Amino acid sequence: MEDGVKDYKKKIRKLIMYLYYSCRLRGVALLHRKWVFSQLVFLILALILLLYASGTYQYFIATSFEKHYIHWGPNVTLEPLFEQIKNNQVPSIMPINVYNHPYIYLHKDKCVMTGSATTISIVYVVKSSIENFQRRNVIRKTWGQETRFHHAVLQTVFLLGIRPGTPHLQGLVDAEVTEHADIVQGEFLDTYFNNTIKTMMGLHWTYHNCPDVKYFLFADDDYFISTKNVLHFLQDPINYPQLKSFPIRLTVELVPSSIFVN
């Protein structure tokens, strides 16, 4: 009887020990799985951050150029079309994109040139955002000043769209037109994403209203252009910049040279 009790107690102890160590092993395994999972999540987040910071992620979401853009236009030879346009003929194939937005301010007479045959005529066509009044005024007083050079006929026009819901801006533009008469405004939304439409308006306006102008220079309202250098280049493009050019910087020292030891 006593031997049976002892054997029973031994079995109970073994069972308890088995359950104890089994639970410990399962706990260790569970902790290990949690650690592996946390490390995996960390590596995935680190990889995503690396792809985002380096810009590599854009490669995976980009549209295939070969699939969508390689055949962007009609499969025709462009040279005959250029010749037709140069000869004032109707092109045999009409363009895909045609500027068809109405003008609010057109200023047809802006490009009327009164200089002689030897006078350089140039028109600055400046793309400007509708709210950039200060930038336009700075251009009018600096590189876009129309009366600065006596040996060249210079005109400056600014291309604008419209901004619905902001009547105060349009009122200021109306006053600007009355004062300067150099705004060409089209009826399309003035945003950065419509920059192509604004450029098309500039090309359409220059083609139909400036037949006697020799040169056009398209720019943005945050550019600086050395008009003197532009005129020197147009006078003698072969020898420019060795002849009659000057650096766009001051010749005086604004900072003493002693500061720069080397």
More confident residue, 222 or 115: 222
Give yes or no for residue 238 having a pLDDT over 80: yes
| Both tokens assigned to 87 | 């000869």
Q: What's the whole-number mean pLDDT along residues 203-220?
A: 92
Of 207, 211, 185, nearest to 198 by C-alpha is: 185
pLDDT: is 5 or 90 the higher one? 90
Residues 66, 71, 76, 78, CA torsion sign:
negative
Both tokens of 3, joined, read 């031997």
Contact of 160 with 135, CB cutoff 8 Å = no
Compute CA distances 136 → 177, 215, 220, whole Å: 12, 21, 10
Q: How confident is the model at residue 133 (pLDDT cuts 50, 70, 90)?
A: very high
- Provide mean pLDDT across the span 37-58: 83
pLDDT average, residue stretch 180-205: 95
**Cα gap 141→156, rounded to integer Å:** 11
Query: Is the per-residue pLDDT at 88 higher than 80?
Result: yes
The closest alpha carbon to 161, from 189, 194, 128, belongs to: 189
Tokens of 24: 């410990």
Tell me the pTM.
Answer: 0.64
Mean pLDDT within 169-186: 96
Burial class (CB in 10 A: 0-12, 13-18, 19+), 182: buried
Rounded distance between C-alpha atoms, residue 82 and residue 154, angstroms: 28
Q: What is the pLDDT of residues 56-75, one digit of tens each?
A: 878 878 777 677 666 666 77
Q: Are the C-beta atoms of residues 181 and 155 closer than 8 Å to each other?
A: no
- Cα(180)–Cα(203) distance, rounded to whole angstroms? 21
More confident residue, 17 or 53: 53
Between CA 218 and CA 203 the distance in angstroms is: 9
In the predicted structure, residue 126 carries a pLDDT above the cut 80: yes
Residues 6+ apart with CB under 8 A from 182: 107, 110, 140, 155, 156, 157, 158
Of residues 33 and 69, more confidently modeled = 33
Given pLDDT bands bounded at 50, 70 and 90, which one contains residue 243? low
What pLDDT does residue 260 have? Answer: 46
State how far the Cα of 5 lies from the Cα of 140, in Å rounded to an integer.
111
